[in-house]
A and B are shown apart, each in its own frame.
Chain A
Amino acid sequence: MGRELKRVLLEALVVAAMGLAFALLANLASPRGLSLSRNYFPGTGTAHGFESSANSKVNPAANGDGHLAQGNVAARLKEKGLRLIDHEQALQLFRDPQYELESIVFVDARDDRHYAEGHVPGAYQFDRYYPEKHLPAVLAACQNATNIIVYCTGGDCEDSEFAALTLKDSGVPLERLAVYGGGMTEWVESGLPVEIGERRSGTLRGAKP
């Protein structure tokens, strides 16, 4: 029995070593692979320092008061020196003539698929998990902008906050950055135009008359 157990343990060890080596190589080779050393959630003391995991990303019944959640987000952003803007403010900035001149810039912090499915017209994509792909173009756009509005899906999505912090760490002055808390969900629900595919693709949909 002891010998049998040893045999199984040894076999498990061999599989574990081979599996781990393969896993690390596959991650390295994958275009979507993660960097092992990068802190993807900067500014959080714990693995999930923003809020209790007991309250996050569970069924809607558990999410409670939306206004309270919004207040929590605002306080959290303030702690990081970031501004939270609401839908009216985001819309006002979108309709400002300065938006066409790129003094105002919208930054979409979601991944390729979500961005291609629809983003705020003219918004730059900045998937912060793959900064090498997006950061040069976004930083160039942010150079001359006085207002940079970062958004993600909305609700409990934190990517806009982290993207804004990454931009700050890359040299964008903090006072120019703002987070649109309602995000894409609120934008779409309000019947505002959505651009499909690439930035400035010209394909718009969803605008209410």
Chain B
Amino acid sequence: MWRVLNHEWVGVVARWILGTLFFLMGLNKALHPVDFLKILREYDFTTSHVLLNLIAAALPWFEVVCGLLLLGGVAVRGSALLLIGMLVPFTLAVLGRAMAIHAANSIPFCAIRFDCGCGAGEVIVCHKLLENTALLLLATLLLIGRSHRWCLICDLVKPK
């Protein structure tokens, strides 16, 4: 199983899937930062407007950069680690908000849908959680994998 997952082409496909998704979703948010700011505010995670603005202004472009790096095969493992660092708290935040809606409105969990701020508009929460889990697996695969095919600069920090 690991041999299959560690196959060079699996790494390339994982990079392209993650890279394309993050590039497109990031760009969509970067072009409409006010919409993203309003959605972020819904999560109620900070009382600091500066922090809220900083995340709304920077995160989308940051996703675009990570997406491009993965598409081009630059600093693959570092980028994958950063994607995991973004995906984990975001997925937990979506889960937390969905659970709060579920508790407050008695809606079946998988019938809950809202614009989670992922850049694709309104989503069904269960689908989103599954999608994020799959993305996390792909990012983990890139992090621990050894695929160097079609990489421009696979490792930015070279082994000594």
Q: Which residues of A contact B (CB under 8 A)?
A: 3-4, 7-16, 18-20, 22-24, 26-27, 30, 32-41, 45-48, 52-59, 61-62, 64, 111, 129
Contacts and interface: CB of A to CB of B under 8 A. Distances in A.
A137 B64 CA distance: 36
A3 B158 CA distance: 11
22 contacts: A4-B159, A11-B155, A12-B77, A12-B82, A14-B157, A15-B69, A15-B75, A23-B62, A26-B64, A27-B58, A30-B33, A45-B47, A47-B43, A47-B44, A48-B41, A52-B104, A54-B100, A54-B103, A57-B42, A59-B107, A61-B107, A111-B34
Given A8-B81, A14-B78, A34-B34, A56 B42 contact: yes
Interface residues of B, number: 54
Contacts of A20: 58, 62
A3 B155 CA distance: 14
Interface of B: 30-34, 37, 41-47, 49-50, 52-54, 56-62, 64-66, 69, 75, 77-79, 81-82, 85, 97, 100-101, 103-105, 107, 111-115, 122, 143, 155-157, 159
If over half of B's interface residues share one DSSP class (helix, strand or loop), that class is named, otherwise mixed; here it is helix
B105 A8 contact: no
Contacts of B32: 32
Contacts, number: 154
B78 A55 contact: no
Given A15-B82, A34-B53, A47-B44, 4 more contacts: A8-B78, A8-B143, A12-B78, A34-B34
Given A15-B79, A54-B105, A59-B114, A10 B65 contact: no
